[in-house]
Amino acid sequence: MSEFFSFVLQNVPWGCTFALVAVGLVLTYRATGVFNFGFGAEAYAAGVIYAELYWHGVDRLWAAILVVVVIAPLFGVLLDWGLFSRIPPGNSMAKIVTSLGVMVVLPSVVQIFVGATNVSAPPAPLFNEYLPVWHIGSGPLFVSGSELTTMLATAIVLVVLMLGLRSRRFGLPMRAAVESPKLLELMGVNAKRVSRGSWMLATMLAGLAGVLFAPTETPVSANNYSVILVAAIAAAALGALRSLPLAVVGGVALGVVQGVVQGYVASDSVWYQALVPSLPFFILLVLLLVHPGMRRLENRNDPMSGVEPPAPPPALALRPPHINRVIHRFRWLVLGTVTLVVITFTPGPWIAALTIGASFSVIFLSITLITGLAGQLSLAQAAFAGVGAATTAQLAVNENVPVLIAAVAGAVVAGLGGWVASLPALRLRGLPVTLLTLCLALLADNLIFPTSWIGGGDNGLNVPRPHIFGIDFTAVDSKPFLLLSLAVLLAVSGVVHVLLRGTTGRALSAVHVSPVGAASAGVSVRRLTMFVFFLSAAIAGIGGALFAMSYLQESPSDFNWFFGPTFLVIVVTVGATTVEGAIEAGFGYALIAQALTYLPSTVSTNTNATQGALTVLILSVGAFTYATHPEGIVEAVKRSLARTVFRAVPANPAERQTRGVS
């Protein structure tokens, strides 16, 4: 029994870390209406700055104060002014995309400056690292300085926030500003100032979490913060993202349960490796399915929404027809020229990059389908690609199935995974769907991919390339394999294009904009939702299989969960509503990474990390313009160019309306 209590007590500080982040998530959601996927990234940035200040000789307490009281709130002002204040209260999709943008972009920016693994853990801002040992029952209980600081901070933050949010002076305007800023302004309150204050408070909490967590592990890495973030989401979900005390209870309980399970399960067992880290995701999954408060997250109506500018309509219909005409007229010419250049002049490394680009393009087309058309922000598309890659590798390597047939089987298995995901998604809408897909990606990452009979173990599997018509596809820079990849891309593009412009696209877009209106018109929302999840996952599976063949290898970490949001943000930036948007994003992703290999080593000391971070940064920073350009910033530039070149203004009346032109 005393062993049990020892496990419980030892893990309370760990639970407090979850609780603190969960409180930050709940506060941000209640005070700004934004589910802040970027919270972990903000905390990571704060942790790195704190560590850098400390290692450059600043006193640890002063460094912590500087980060939490000065830098973090200033960053909050920047976030509010530059991003979130520009999003209309009712546009929850833009809020999610923008916060996902922060989640993806901020770590990249930090890593460009300090590298991914170069920052050592600093000491805690208060107390000596190893405090006197306390004796509880028969065993000793160690409490480190960082643990004690975290527990104290959680308690203080909880009390202050609960009192503050209940107060008429601070709490009431903050909550009102989320529901309806316009209505608040009619009461004589400056809603912008209230919202800015909320963001300052929210980023201060992120800063505090960052400073408190930085001492726990060396190096200070973005991944550790992400893990805490997703565990904290489960804790926050316990109170339906609204209750601070429940978020704290959830956080502490989660840490304790995880610790107790960890204590009793043998550390060399599969359960230890798989179950312990997955526990928060299971809990989140169950809460999403059974907690009525989580299902109703999106049911929020601003009584003054009529006086806000209307949310921009889906962009597809507003595209100047000239772009499509140009594409239609020159597509074969462009394709022929590209093919000719590829088979004649292109050097080896670029052939390999183009091959990877083709596989990314296929994966990104799955996002065009599910996000651009059906309006579901899925964070699991990379996981589905991983399922396709793993199935292909297993069948081809262990069952001797021809690799192209294995790839088709991989697509079907991934599609079935998507179909299974659609079943709970039928009951949800908006943010809960995003959280659900995040959960599924994390479960795949922790439970499915690490198993040797799926992901192929730590080293993965060597994936063969096809042998057809006596052609050799095996060289890394094989031109025939590139042409084969391009042919697959062309076929998938054709399917997606036909669906976009056909009955499916029209019906999906109707369901996305008004499910109730679509149902009244006889459209089967259920069937379409299941179909779009199945097909998009299957397409991602094909892309994953191509990716594995391109690298001649499949490894469990190829499609870890963080690629889900990264891919989504990249596609949304370039343009999620058109087929060519996905293709541009796919090739852009691969070719920019290839181009960055030519960076002189003086620019980047930690070459790989910097290249990866820069590639993501270049392609995803446009997500911040999602509120004004839901069609994607590259697509917006294309439209603007088309209007200039073809004098195709004034666009159609809907666009004039959304731009405020009378």
Report how far residue 287's alpha carbon sits from residue 532's, in angstroms, rounded to the nearest whole number: 24
Of 9, 176, 227, 525, which lies in the binding site for other proteins, with binding defined by CB under 8 A?
Answer: 525
Of 31, 191, 315, 548, which lies in the binding site for other proteins, with binding defined by CB under 8 A?
Answer: 315
Determine the distance from the C-alpha atom of residue 256 to the mean position of all C-alpha atoms in its chain, rounded to a whole number.
27
Bridge partners for 554 per DSSP: 461
Closest CA to 271 of 281, 256, 261: 261
Q: Does 304 bind other proteins (CB under 8 A)?
A: no
Q: Does 519 bind other proteins (CB under 8 A)?
A: yes
Q: Does 659 bind other proteins (CB under 8 A)?
A: no
We find the least distance from the C-beta atom of residue 518 to other proteins, in angstroms, to be: 7
Q: Does 516 bind other proteins (CB under 8 A)?
A: yes
Of 506, 552, 595, 636, which lies in the binding site for other proteins, with binding defined by CB under 8 A?
Answer: 506
CB 23, CB 248: distance < 8 Å = yes
We find the least distance from the C-beta atom of residue 88 to other proteins, in angstroms, to be: 14
- Please say which residue, 201 or 538, places its beta carbon nearer to other proteins: 538
Return left, alpha or beta for 127; rule: phi > 0 is left, psi -120 to 50 is alpha, else beta: left
Q: Write the DSSP assignment of 533-573 as a string of letters.
A: HHHHHHHHHHHHHHHHHHHTEE-TTTT-TTHHHHHHHHHHH
Q: Does 518 bind other proteins (CB under 8 A)?
A: yes
Report how far residue 99's alpha carbon sits from residue 94's, in angstroms, rounded to the nearest whole number: 8
Report how far residue 564's alpha carbon sits from residue 569's, in angstroms, rounded to the nearest whole number: 9
Of 337, 524, 607, 644, which lies in the binding site for other proteins, with binding defined by CB under 8 A?
Answer: 524
- Please say which residue, 154 or 509, places its beta carbon nearer to other proteins: 509
Q: Which residue has the tokens 């405020």?
A: 660
Of 2, 474, 514, 557, which lies in the binding site for other proteins, with binding defined by CB under 8 A?
Answer: 514
Stretch that binds other proteins, among 289-297, 512-520, 543-551, 586-594 (CB under 8 A): 512-520
We find the least distance from the C-beta atom of residue 95 to other proteins, in angstroms, to be: 18
We find the least distance from the C-beta atom of residue 662 to other proteins, in angstroms, to be: 13
We find the least distance from the C-beta atom of residue 440 to other proteins, in angstroms, to be: 23
Q: Which two tokens stand for residue 371?
A: 């996000």
- Please say which residue, 233 or 537, places its beta carbon nearer to other proteins: 537
Q: Which two tokens stand for residue 168?
A: 């008429």
Return left, alpha or beta for 241; rule: phi > 0 is left, psi -120 to 50 is alpha, else beta: left
Of 523, 574, 582, 596, which lies in the binding site for other proteins, with binding defined by CB under 8 A?
Answer: 523
Q: Does 140 bind other proteins (CB under 8 A)?
A: no
Q: Does 505 bind other proteins (CB under 8 A)?
A: yes
Return left, alpha or beta for 575; rule: phi > 0 is left, psi -120 to 50 is alpha, else beta: left
Q: Does 316 bind other proteins (CB under 8 A)?
A: yes
Of 166, 193, 325, 526, which lies in the binding site for other proteins, with binding defined by CB under 8 A?
Answer: 526
- Please say which residue, 290 or 516, places its beta carbon nearer to other proteins: 516
Which residues fall within 8 angstroms of residue 189, CB to CB, at 6 or more apart? 173, 176
Report how far residue 501's alpha carbon sits from residue 654's, in angstroms, rounded to the nearest whole number: 20
Of 500, 546, 574, 634, which lies in the binding site for other proteins, with binding defined by CB under 8 A?
Answer: 500
Q: Does 621 bind other proteins (CB under 8 A)?
A: no
End-to-end CA, the chain:
74
- Please say which residue, 93 or 119, places its beta carbon nearer to other proteins: 93
Stretch that binds other proteins, among 270-278, 305-313, 562-570, 632-640 (CB under 8 A): 305-313
Of 25, 34, 311, 383, which lies in the binding site for other proteins, with binding defined by CB under 8 A?
Answer: 311
Stretch that binds other proteins, among 253-261, 525-533, 540-548, 595-603 (CB under 8 A): 525-533
- Please say which residue, 398 or 524, places its beta carbon nearer to other proteins: 524
Restricted to residues 576-615, the positions that interact with other proteins (CB under 8 A) are none
Q: Does 314 bind other proteins (CB under 8 A)?
A: yes
b/e 580-613 (16+ beta carbons within 10 angstroms → b) = bbbbbbbbbbbbbbbebeeeeeeebebeebbbbb
Stretch that binds other proteins, among 80-88, 205-213, 280-288, 510-518 (CB under 8 A): 510-518
The site for other proteins, by CB under 8 A, has a size of 41
Contacts for 448-455: CB closer than 8 Å, 24+ residues apart = 448/387, 448/390, 449/386, 449/390, 449/556, 449/557, 449/559, 449/560, 450/273, 450/274, 450/556, 451/270, 451/274, 453/394, 454/390, 454/394, 455/386, 455/390, 455/554, 455/555, 455/556
Q: Which two tokens stand for residue 409?
A: 């089987």
Of 499, 539, 579, 614, which lies in the binding site for other proteins, with binding defined by CB under 8 A?
Answer: 499
We find the least distance from the C-beta atom of residue 534 to other proteins, in angstroms, to be: 10
Instruction: Please give the helix or strand (H or E) that residue 139 lies within, else none.
Output: strand 139-141
How many CB atoms within 10 Å of residue 635? 25
Closest CA to 529 of 519, 539, 520: 519
- Please say which residue, 373 or 590, places its beta carbon nearer to other proteins: 373
Calculate the alpha carbon distances from 605 to 121, 442, 462, 565 in Å.
Answer: 21, 31, 30, 27
Q: Does 509 bind other proteins (CB under 8 A)?
A: yes
- Please say which residue, 301 or 344, places its beta carbon nearer to other proteins: 301
- Please say which residue, 193 or 656, places its beta carbon nearer to other proteins: 656
Of 163, 307, 487, 654, which lies in the binding site for other proteins, with binding defined by CB under 8 A?
Answer: 654
How many CB atoms within 10 Å of residue 142? 11
Residues that bind other proteins (CB under 8 A): 310-311, 313-318, 495, 497-507, 509-510, 513-514, 516-526, 531, 535, 652-654, 657
